[in-house]
Chain A
Amino acid sequence: MITLQEYLSVGALLFTVGLLIVLFRQNAISILMGIELMLNAANINFVAFSNALGGLTGQVLAIFVVVAAAAEAAVAIAIIVLLYQNLGTVDVEKARNLNG
């Protein structure tokens, strides 16, 4: 029997990994993957809580998050393709035309 704590730990671990990827990787595709990990960490929590609490709210939320993540990924990949076309790289550190 897997306990709620164990599910939450996996979720927290995934979230941390995603967070670190977004913060420290420069490749735009890696960053996108990091963001997906963060969203899916939340999904694990939703489903785990839904299981522990009973009721379907958490599972419905998880499905919506999957949909939204797919929409976000579609836009992100389009932006990454544009970045590659215009700059010849998908390295966000090299995209420094705006002095940020």
Chain B
Amino acid sequence: MISITAADLSGISPALHLAVAGIAIMLLDALWPMRSKLLSVWITLAALGCSLTTSLHRLTAGVDVTLFNGAVRMDGYAHAFSAIICLASTLAVLSAPKYLRLRGVHLAEYYALLLFSVCGMVLFAAAEELIMLFLALETLSIPVYCLVGFTRTNVYSTEASMKYFVIGAFATGFLVYGIALLYGAAGSGYLVDLRAGAARAPGLFYAGMTLLLVGFLFKIGAVPFNMWTPDAYEGAPTPVTTFMAEAVKAAPFGGMIKVLFVGFGFDAAVGLWQPALVVIAVLTMTVGNLTALVQTDVKRMMGYSSIAHSGYILVGILAASKLQSADALAAVLYYLFVYVLMNAGAFGILILFSHKDKDTNAVEDLTGLARERPWAAALMAVYMLSLTGLPPLAGFFGKFYIFSYAVKAGYVPLVIIAILNSVVSAYYYLKVIVAMYFRGPEDTGRAAVFHYEGYSVFLLAMLWFTAWGILYYGIHSEPQLALARLAASSLFATAP
């Protein structure tokens, strides 16, 4: 007899908070539409806060439970991803009310959709089984297709939504087909049993592994599966782009790392995925950075920059798989944490100066910002320098840890390429700083106005928090790394 126990429900409470809050918001909106908007912001923040604190608490307490007949495992790894994703989503939610209000689409559904998506993300890193993995992926993706098209009358938003849907669903197609083949090869849906498929039916197994990897690489926007990612980033409403660039970006890594390490393992025969990922990592970093160089739109540039960052994270994953050490994987988790802070901040500045009829998206739009709004310019400079990877900001330490473990793992040429890429990326991040600090209206021939339209305390809180986080957690990275190590070692406890 299969039954759901109270222990199952309390075990997945980080995900459950979010789902319940999402449903509550939908009910509230139906029953009390007048007041539902602001209230739903608070409900969302409360739910995300609950999940975040629960996850952190359970991570430090070392909770490790297997639930729902082995379909979900809430261990340190799942809790760490849950915490990163809840933090990322909180930052995205804080940036939303101002923008949506200006666009006249401040609707409660936005928060409900966002919460459902986050619920899927939390379960994605916790899935121990192929059905769960697939369902979590769909739960996280489908609401995002809606969110991208949220400004309904906007042509760009609709087009971005269509394109994002096509790549997303296309990736799902590959993923499901890969899952089908792996299930056939291994004869079981559990990740730990997948490896046995390599001996039982190698043809099916390797085909399935390739297709599953292609599906994942689509989701993280790796080259050559990145075609429409920047379009989706550019066309989506900026708060949704924030959400996509941090939470939707970080979550697939949660599932991917688990499938690679626990499902496929590190044996030489099964480890064929490593050389493939080396090539993909090099391509992803290089193409992402080189294309970002020529962009004039900050959102689009950040789209390519996020592709490049996926490449750095892949380097970290490769190092962790080669060394099979929890420390190396902890560096990847730390990087994801830092990456979330930097991206949220950079998009936050764009939202800060977005007006009713016009977004502030072009690099040119930021010309002369430092003279008029010195604090905003200083914050943006912190985010950009951190994205470049300049010490002593958190972005530097994130890259430093990843690259040093990669060197230890013997991926020296890969690290050299990654560092060269970081140097190249400095050009387009610094382009923003140059525009803000060293150019004025006399250079562009038009006066830029930087007034805050639709002042939002939420947004300002988010900006200051991320900047503080980048400054503080760079130098004081040890507590974060210790948590990440705890999480990573729980994954390696199950890996072969």
Answer whether A and B are interacting partners: yes
B142 within 8 A of A: yes
Q: Decide if A79 touches B158 in the complex (CB within 8 Å).
A: yes
B166 within 8 A of A: yes
Q: Decide if B152 touches A82 in the complex (CB within 8 Å).
A: yes
Alpha-carbon distance between A86 and B489 when the two chains are bound, in angstroms: 51
- What is the interface size of chain B, counting residues whose CB is below 8 A from a CB of the partner? 43
CB-CB under 8 A from A42, the residues of chain B are 173, 176-177, 179-180
Alpha-carbon distance between A87 and B169 when the two chains are bound, in angstroms: 22
Interface residues of B in 146-186 (CB under 8 A from A): 146, 149, 152-156, 158-163, 165-166, 169-170, 172-174, 176-177, 179-181, 183-184
Shortest distance in angstroms between B153's beta carbon and chain A's nearest beta carbon? 7
Main secondary structure of the interface of A (DSSP, over half): helix
Q: Decide if A61 touches B138 in the complex (CB within 8 Å).
A: no
Interface residues of B in 99-148 (CB under 8 A from A): 130-131, 134-135, 138, 142, 145-146
Which residue of A has the minimal Cβ distance to B232? A98
Count contacts between A and B, CB distance < 8 Å: 127
- What is the interface size of chain A, counting residues whose CB is below 8 A from a CB of the partner? 45
Q: Decide if A86 touches B153 in the complex (CB within 8 Å).
A: yes
* Chain B positions near chain A (C-beta within 8 angstroms): 130-131, 134-135, 138, 142, 145-146, 149, 152-156, 158-163, 165-166, 169-170, 172-174, 176-177, 179-181, 183-184, 187-189, 227-228, 230-231, 234-235
* Chain A positions near chain B (C-beta within 8 angstroms): 8, 11, 15, 18-19, 22, 28, 31-32, 35, 38-39, 41-43, 45-46, 48-49, 52-53, 57-58, 60-61, 64-65, 68, 71-72, 75-76, 78-80, 82-83, 86-87, 92, 95, 97-100
- List, sorted by A's number, 25 A–B pairs whose CB atoms are closer than 8 Å: A15-B177, A38-B170, A38-B174, A42-B180, A52-B184, A57-B131, A61-B130, A61-B134, A61-B183, A64-B134, A65-B176, A68-B138, A68-B172, A75-B165, A76-B145, A76-B165, A79-B162, A82-B161, A83-B159, A97-B159, A97-B235, A98-B231, A98-B234, A98-B235, A100-B231
